Structure 1
Amino acid sequence: MSRLIAKSGKPHTIGEQLILPAIEEVLKTVLHKPAYDILKRIPLSNNTVQRRIDELSHDFESFLCNYLQTNHFSIQLNESTLPGNEALLLAYVRFVMDQEIHEELLFARTLTTNTKGESIFNALKDYLIEKVIPLSNIISAAADGAPAMFGRYRGFIAYLTDLFTKFNEVNLQL
């Protein structure tokens, strides 16, 4: 039920407000059974649904990171400033699985220092290192046209390109 509630995009309280009353009506009308004993065994409180959705998202993040550890992917980054001058970095990945293209949110992180290209690059690098995803699995990168992303010397793409240039030079020497 929690997965269905999460997919609906509705508030978690929909379980208590709509689903349980609907189940109760079906039990009374169709099965002619008292609903109370059955309904008390269906955990759909707001807290229970929230906890289960959090568990589902953690399981999905683990699955996604495990997949990205051994497969190539493209990454798309977007840095936004929220009210209160807080900077948020969103990273999406696009990859092929079972001969289909998939796009998923990899992470959303607050940038604690600034929104310069180096900070954005370090945030991505730190996440990938934490999740043991090789940077070499990135086959392309996309971003908006902001200078922090595409600045020639200090933009995110410049740092990423520099990393791959060094990586390729080391491989050529071996």
Structure 2
Amino acid sequence: MSNGNLKPSGLREHFESKHSSHVGTSLEAFKLRRVRYDQKATLSSYGFSAPGKPLLEASYKVSYMIAREKKPHITGETLVKPCALEMAKIVLGEEAAKQLSQVSLSNDTVRQRIKDMSEDITAQVVNEIKQSPAKISMQIDESTDVSNHSQLLLSWDLIGSICTDGAPAMIGKKSGFIAMVKEKAPHVLTTHCVLHRQALASKTLPKKFKEAMRIVVQTVNFIRGRALNQRLFKKLCDEIGAEHGVLLYHTEGRDVDIIQARGKVVAFTRKLPIWSRRVESGNLANFPILDNILIGDGKKLSVEIIQEVKNHLEVLSTNFEGYFSDIDDLTMESSWILNPFSFDISRMSDNDLSKDDFIEFQENPRKKADFERAGMDAKHFWCEQISAYPSLAIRAMHVLVPFTITYLCETGFSALLNMKSK
């Protein structure tokens, strides 16, 4: 039945006009009749039967596609099915269209199909989490849905680490989210999103640079503010042969583990003094766009601007050291996790009970072959060691599993808000 046929007023009118003899019959009486129908297969004798497997599968497939594209549930009934019937009628004939019309895509059916698939996926994920010997990692962002409600559906016993956006509501020492988590689950490891820390450290621009950045932000917002502006901007980019034609508010975040993040941050902070010395000597190789503009115009940077850039790079280096002060705590751990067979065992304390297992592990030639075959995929390699060397594997995963950015969390909330706003 279509969604329109299920309106209470329509059902009441149909019941009173077509089944007037049953007006006044109690709900219990109808339930009793239903039990008798089911026992005697009365519905089947009247031609009612459950949908066949292909029809049911088609209904689920279309419902899945509607959910994936974040479209309203009623799309199946008002758009997808009518289009499919027209195409079947034109290309395959009336008989095919008649068979296709049996695929149920009403608003309530699509909603139930999506709910069934969601519950099934949730059950599978929860089952895998419960069976995993290692704790899971979470991304937490200071966001709520359109009803101003936070979304969290996991037991703290299953969580080993949390990555937050670093907002005061998250990391406040007394009433912050992390402080409350530590009271309930002291074992949870907390990390601050690397991208948020980078943004905070980069905000200390000199006054002249801030003005330039303000103009850039205003320009981006103006172009992205209206669809017409975006189309005109794309046309302009095409006319001048620009490499890109679309402006993004942000770039997609690719998650890396803490060890990789540490390497990138340390490498960047080590480069900053070198860049500063190059700028001081007039070498702008690290700022190629600026360098090309100056060469094209036949100009050079003023001494004042050079000093501004140099000062900014020095401040940036200091800020990075402050915001990433905890990044060096992983130096020893990262060494044996990434290079277990070249790691100097004497660096481990004799009081570390994992040292015995590690010695046995290093002397296992088969594990060395497995490690070489795994290449640089440390996560995959240590996951495979969970049964043979559980203490080492769990300790390695405790470092490798935690998220370093909250990008997935933010995109998830964005999708949730989009669906709830429709």
TM-score range, shorter chain: 0.5 to 0.7
Contact 2:129–2:136, Cα closer than 8 Å, also in 1: yes
Q: Which has the larger radius of gyration?
A: 2
Q: Residues 81 and 7 of structure 1: is their aligned pair in 2 closer, same or farther, counting only changes over 3 Å? A: closer
1:134-145 alignment, distance < 5 Å: 134-135=157-158, 137-138=159-160, 140-145=161-166
- The correspondence of residues 1-174 of structure 1 with structure 2, limited to 5 A, is 1-34=62-95, 37-69=98-130, 70=132, 71-80=134-143, 87-91=148-152, 107=153, 127-128=154-155, 134-135=157-158, 137-138=159-160, 140-162=161-183, 163-164=185-186
Q: Look up the equivalent residue of 2:179 and give its one-letter code.
A: A
Confirm or deny: 8 A CA contact 2:141 2:165 kept in the other structure.
Answer: yes
Match of 1:97 in 2: none
Structure 2, unmatched stretches of 5+, are 1-61, 189-422
CA–CA separation in structure 1 for the residues paired with 2:144 and 2:66: 30
Tell whether the 8 Å contact from 2:170 to 2:176 is kept in structure 1 after alignment: yes
C-alpha distance in 1, partners of 2:66/2:83?
A: 14
More displaced stretch, 43-52 vs 32-41 = 32-41
User: Is the 1:3–1:53 Cα contact (8 Å) retained in structure 2?
Assistant: yes
**Alpha-carbon distance in structure 2 between the residues aligned to 1:159 and 1:88:** 18
TM-aligned CA distance change 1:87 to 1:20, over 3 Å: closer
Deviation at 1:4, TM superposition (A): 1.2
Contact 1:77 1:89 in 2 (8 A): no
Q: Secondary structure at the match of 1:34?
A: helix
Q: Distance in 1 between matches of 2:91 and 2:187?
A: 68
Aligned partner letter, 1:48: T
TM-score between the two structures when normalised by the length of structure 2: 0.26
What amino acid sits opposite 1:58 in the alignment? E
Alignment partners' CA distance in 2, 1:22 and 1:81? 37
Q: CA deviation at 1:26?
A: 2.4
Would the alpha carbon gap of residues 16 and 141 (structure 1) be closer, same or farther in structure 2, given more than 3 Å must change? same
1:104-153 CA distance string (max 9 Å, x none): xxx4xxxxxxxxxxxxxxxxxxx416xxxx34x42x21223333321224
What is the percent sequence identity of the aligned residues?
Answer: 35
* 2:86 aligned partner, one-letter code: E
Q: Secondary structure at the match of 2:95?
A: coil
TM-score, length basis structure 1: 0.58
The total of aligned residue pairs comes to 125
Deviation, 1:36, is 5.5
Higher strand share: 1
Tell me if the contact between 1:150 and 1:157 (Cα under 8 Å) persists in the aligned partners: yes
In structure 2, give the amino acid aligned to 1:164.
P
User: What amino acid is aligned across from residue 167 of structure 2 in structure 1?
Assistant: A
Contact 1:27-1:33 within 8 A present in 2 as well: yes
Measured in 1, the distance between the counterparts of 2:76 and 2:186 equals 49
Q: Give the number of the structure with larger relative contact order, counting CA–CA contacts within 8 Å between residues 6 or more apart.
A: 2
Q: When you count helix as a share of all residues, which structure comes out higher?
A: 2
Residue 48 to residue 81, structure 1, CA distance change in 2 (3 Å): closer
For structure 1, the residue ranges without an aligned partner over 5 or more in a row are 92-106, 108-126, 167-174
Q: Distance in 1 between matches of 2:136 and 2:187?
A: 18
What amino acid maps onto 2:64 in structure 1?
A: R
Q: Residue 177 of structure 2 aligns to which amino acid in structure 1?
A: F
Measured after TM superposition, the shift of residue 87 of structure 1 is: 4.3
Quote the offset at 1:37 in angstroms.
Answer: 3.0
CA–CA distance in structure 1, aligned partners of residues 69 and 90 of structure 2: 26
Distance 1:165 1:25 in 2: 59
Moved more, 154-163 or 23-32: 154-163
Amino acid at match of 1:155: G
